[in-house]
Amino acid sequence: MASRLQKLHLDYKSGISFTNIQLSIINNASRFTKWHLALQLTEEFVDLLDNLINI
């Protein structure tokens, strides 16, 4: 009985740490995506300014 409880406890803990890892991966991915989008928008904005100046 005790070993069964320990196994349940271990499964529970490893499940939580796995979830935390997944969440941190998702957070980093969304942060990277936001940064990438901002960079793309900045590049397009600079191109737009160049076009306006060269008209």
Q: Tens digit of pLDDT for each residue in 9-50?
A: 666 666 667 777 788 888 888 888 888 888 888 888 888 888
CA distances to 6, 13, 53 from 2, rounded to whole Å, are 6, 16, 76
Say if residue 1's pLDDT is above 60: no
Q: Quote the Cα angle for 40-28-46, to 5°.
A: 15
CA distance 15 to 8: 10
pLDDT of residue 18: 75
- pTM for this entry: 0.42
pLDDT of residue 25: 83
